[in-house]
Each structure stands twice: as C-alpha cells, then as structure tokens.
Amino acid sequence: MPDASTPTAPPPTPTAVKVHAIHGWKRVLLMPVSWLVRLWNASLRFEISPESLKNISKVDVPVAMMVWHNRLFLGSEIFRRYRANRRVYCLISASKDGAWIDAYFSLVGMQSVRGSSSRLGREAVTALVSVMKDGHDIAITADGPRGPRYEFKPGGLIVARRAHSPILLIGAEFSAGKQLGSWDGFYLPRPFSRVRLKCELVANEELADRGDSAVRLQERLRAINPDKKTFIPRVV
C-alpha cells in the first residue's frame, strides 16, 4: 500500500466548474499564517484514551476522516501527530475562496481535491473514491462548507461505502478557548491549553444501511463533540 513518500498520480479533478488557484505573492502572504497556526497547534496538549489512540492510529487501510466544520483548526495537527506517515486529501471548493484554503492546506502538508464541496457531486465523489483506492486517506467536514451546523451530509458516507473503507469520526473538547460567532461556531483553542480527542472507527460493514447510516453517524459525531464545556481542567 502506498505511503506518504510514494509518488502517485494526482487525483482526477472535477471538470464541471472552473478551478481557481493562488500563485505568486498571494501564496507568499499565507506563509506567516501557516507558521503561526503550526506553532499554535504545536503548543496544544492533546489528551486521548487508549481506545481512541488505537482508532486514530489505524493505518493498514485508508480511512475517511470526518469532523464538524467548527473543529477544522485542529485538522492539520491531528494528522501530523497521529497519521504523519499517510497522505490525506481534502475536498475543497473550486471557487476563489476555496483557492485560498487549498493554498493554505498545501503549506501545512495536506493535499486537496478541487470540486463542489457544497454538493459533493458525482465527479467529486469519483475523485475521492479514486484517492482512497490509491491507498490514501480523505478528510471531510461532515456538515459541509456552509452547514447547517451539525447536520450530517451524506457525501462522505457515499465515498466510504464505494471505496469499501471505514470512517473515522473525530471529536474534540477544549479546556479553554473561544467559540466564534460564525455559522458553524468555529472553535479556537487557547494556546498551551488542553484538547481531549475522541475518535470512533466505524467499519465499512456498518455503512450498508442506506436509510439509517447517516442518522447514526450524525448522532455519534454530535456525542463526541459536545458544545457544553464538559472538559474539566485537571487539578495540579
């Protein structure tokens, strides 16, 4: 199975829409931002149970990682700490806004498939399935790029089912931080604070029920990502 050092052909890019990209000085502007985020993330103290560590460390097969949009700040750091020997692809909009995200992800070591992240249409699904069949992971925001918040979209489920791969649900609780007033309630953990990770692995066999799978995954992902502050700081 290919690993992160194995050269592979780029994934097929959906062609139904124009794909915008960031080059030159605009890309240079993003470099200080990527350095800042890396330092910020590196300062966080992650706590994870043995079971969750076993789930997130499963690297013998490609997995479809799913996280709510408001936990995206942790994405690159989670991958760096626990799945650094893998290559991960994220579905990013082909729009101008998506071009900035694509450029940023490339600076923090993540790959991208450009296409309709809102609808996760046929071409985008095909591209992501191709990536997984090549032996690589994918990462998808379960509630999409525009929400509604915590409403599970079926696209990632369809990809995992067609690729015959498991889904890795990722949850995070924060000991200290700020929740922004955006549509998703984006979380920014305080530097040097603690983050408790909860990771559940869903076998591909559990995804066969087309009627109830999305509902069950939504419930499980909500359960491991509580909005209420239930993470009590440890007494020193």
Dihedral in degrees, nearest 10, Cα atoms 119, 123, 128, 130: 170
Q: Please count the other Cβ atoms lying within 10 Å of the Cβ belonging to residue 58.
A: 14
Query: Can you give the residue ranges of every domain in the chain?
Result: 24-223
Per-residue model confidence as pLDDT tens digits over 51-67: 999 999 998 999 999 99
* Angle formed by the axes of helices 155-163 and 213-223, nearest 10°: 110
Q: Is 161 helix (H, G, I), strand (E, B) or coil?
A: helix
H-helix or E-strand spanning residue 127: helix 122-133
Q: Could you report the per-residue pLDDT of 87-122, keeping only the tens digit for each?
A: 999 988 777 877 888 888 888 888 888 876 555 567
Instruction: Give the pLDDT confidence of 177-187 residue by residue, as tens digits.
Output: 999 999 999 99
Which residue is listed with tokens 């050092």?
5
CB of 149 closer than 8 Å to CB of 165: no
What tens digit of pLDDT does each residue of 2-50 get? 455 554 555 655 445 577 788 888 888 889 999 999 999 999 999 999 9
| Other residues' Cβ atoms within 10 Å of the Cβ of residue 78 | 23
